[in-house]
Amino acid sequence: MKMLIGGKPVDGLDGSLLNIINPATSQVIDTVPNASREDVDRAVVIARKAQKQWARVPVYQRAEILKTFLSLVDQEKENLAQLLMSETGKPIYEARNEIANIPVAFNAFIEKAKHLYGDMIPNGLEAGQEKNLQFTQREPLGVIVCILPFNFPVDMFDHKVAPSLLAGNAVIVKPPHQNPLTVCRVAELLIKAGVGDGVIQVVTGEGPKTGSALVSHPGIDKITFTGSTAVGIEIAKAAAANLAHVSLELGGNDAFIVHEDADLDLVANEMTWGRMYNCGQICCASKRFLVHHQVKDKLLAKVIENVNALVLGSPEDENTQVACLISEEAAKKVEAQIKKTVEQGGKIVLGGKRTGAYLQPTILVDVPKDADVAKDMEIFGPVIPIIGFDTLEEAVEIANSSMYGLGSCIFSSNMKTTMNVASQLECGLVVINGSSSYRSFEMPFGGYKKSGIGNEGVLSTFYAVTRLKTVVLKNIFD
């Protein structure tokens, strides 16, 4: 598959390619260009010119074009889901869910775009301003680079691209190098729907080569990135050299707190699906399970029963609930993290075996509160490490000991207890009596500490992809 520059499928100028591998079969399913700095230069020049024209298109017309895009997506939804499944390794039902989110997201952003009003400051609110009228309006930033993660590439395309286009920006998408194919197809449909040549472009390639060229380019006005904290910090450094805006949604090690009065059947269900969906490869999935000692054994039995009931298998099997990770390398990393947790005192009571990119759902108990996983080691896989506690004060202390602060959750039958704990947790999202693996398109999503900068969602993204201008009508009143 080719990348998209200037509205057309193109090869890279230096001819280098990346193999796209189906992680479930280890078979090469396609290739994409590994774009060079020269490819990036070309895309940026085209984007800057195209953005000026796109910004003059009225919002209602941009909305109509995106609605045409949604009709094209509807016609292609099964093909898109099959492609996403094959390059990502997620079960087909999960792939269909992700494609089904496209109209949910785009329609929500379309509605918001039509109500992005400015403010008016009437005359006479302060001395000396009796004759003057001031009002504000939001204008596009310019050219926005959207760097997408492998775990939910289409969902993040929705979050970043829809509001950016509706606000009048041009967008250059850098999809994940492991699985860029579905993103390329979706972008093709936007072009087919009428988004102008160069307004939406896709530049494929690896982070150190293509990504670095994009984030350091002086022609970029904003970078919005979802990925690891280490890479996010490097992006922030590169953006600072050009004073480019950044939105960074980074790593997480969410705490899942279970008080002694919690509904254990609810807890077990939320723990199971919240950790095993997408094979545990979710930034806001709970990754540290803090359970009151009084209910730990009883809950463990329920969770083991739930996990054992999951259907493991090939992504293409309609019954599969847990498939493989994004790559064998990713599975090996999780395997090593399990081993390290065992070395630090944890005990495997279920799973732990790896075959290629497949890793058995794993449950560890007796994990010490000073183990790496209890603080800053983010396990991006189907692993449930259980850490016991005696008091809620101790649980909050463990939860807040991490450098991350993306999300968390608290389970208790007492709402006063949950709200008190929620107020003490240092993170951007707290879910009460539900897994932290929660994200609606409407909500502002973002973390504290080293989990990122800024928020994404219908409520907040437009303010991040526009700039505020104040217009003054001086001496307009007698």
Marked catalytic residue, from 249, 270, 378, 456: 249
For 406-430, the pLDDT digits (tens) are: 999 999 999 999 999 999 999 999 9
Structure tokens at 306: 């739930």
- Write down the pLDDT at residue 298: 98
Q: For residue 337, give the amino acid letter.
A: Q
**Please, what is the average pLDDT of the chain?**
98
Q: Which domains does the chain have, with CATH numbers?
A: 3-250+451-471 (3.40.605.10), 254-440 (3.40.309.10)
Average pLDDT over residues 337-348: 98
- Residue 64 is predicted with a pLDDT of 98
139 an active-site residue?
no
Q: Residue 278's pLDDT is what?
A: 98
pLDDT 10s digits, 291-329: 999 999 999 999 999 999 999 999 999 999 999 999 999
- Beta bridge partners of residue 278, listed in sequence order: none
Q: Is 249 one of the annotated active-site residues of the chain? A: yes
Q: Strand 120-121 vs strand 133-140: parallel, antiparallel, or unpaired?
A: antiparallel
Q: What is the pLDDT of residues 205-263, one digit of tens each?
A: 999 999 999 999 999 999 999 999 999 999 999 999 999 999 999 999 999 999 999 99
Average pLDDT over residues 164-170: 98
How far apart are alpha carbons 31 and 52 in whole angstroms? 33
pLDDT of amino acid 266: 98
User: Which residue in the list 146, 184, 279, 283 is annotated as catalytic?
Assistant: 283
pLDDT, tens digit (0-9, with 9 covering 90-100), for 48-107: 999 999 999 999 999 999 999 999 999 999 999 999 999 999 999 999 999 999 999 999
Question: If DSSP states are collapsed to H, E and C, what string results for the chain?
Answer: CCEEECCEEECCCCCCEEEEEECCCCEEEEEEECCCHHHHHHHHHHHHHHHHHHHCCCHHHHHHHHHHHHHHHHHHHHHHHHHHHHHHCCCHHHHHHHHHHHHHHHHHHHHHHCCCCCCEECCCCCCCCCCCEEEEEEEECCEEEEECCCCCHHHHHHHHHHHHHHCCCEEEEECCCCCCHHHHHHHHHHHHHCCCCCCEEECCCCHHHHHHHHHCCCCCCEEEEECCHHHHHHHHHHHHHCCCEEEEECCCCEEEEECCCCCHHHHHHHHHHHHHHHHHCCCCCEEEEEEECCCHHHHHHHHHHHHHCCCECCCCCCCCCECCCCCHHHHHHHHHHHHHHHHCCCEEEECCCEECCEECCEEEECCCCCCHHHCCCCCCCCEEEEEEECCHHHHHHHHCCCCEECEEEEECCCHHHHHHHHHHCCCCEEEECCCCCCCCCCCCECCEECCEECCECCCCHHHHCEEEEEEEECCCCC
d(CA 382, CA 450): 23
Does the reported pTM lie above 0.85?
Answer: yes
Question: In the predicted model, what is the mean pLDDT of residues 40-45?
Answer: 98
Return the pLDDT at 149.
98
Q: Kindly state the average pLDDT of the residues 110-127.
A: 96
Q: What is the mean pLDDT of residues 102-131?
A: 96
| pLDDT score at 416 | 97
Where residue 24 falls among pLDDT bands split at 50, 70, 90?
Answer: very high
pLDDT of residue 442: 97
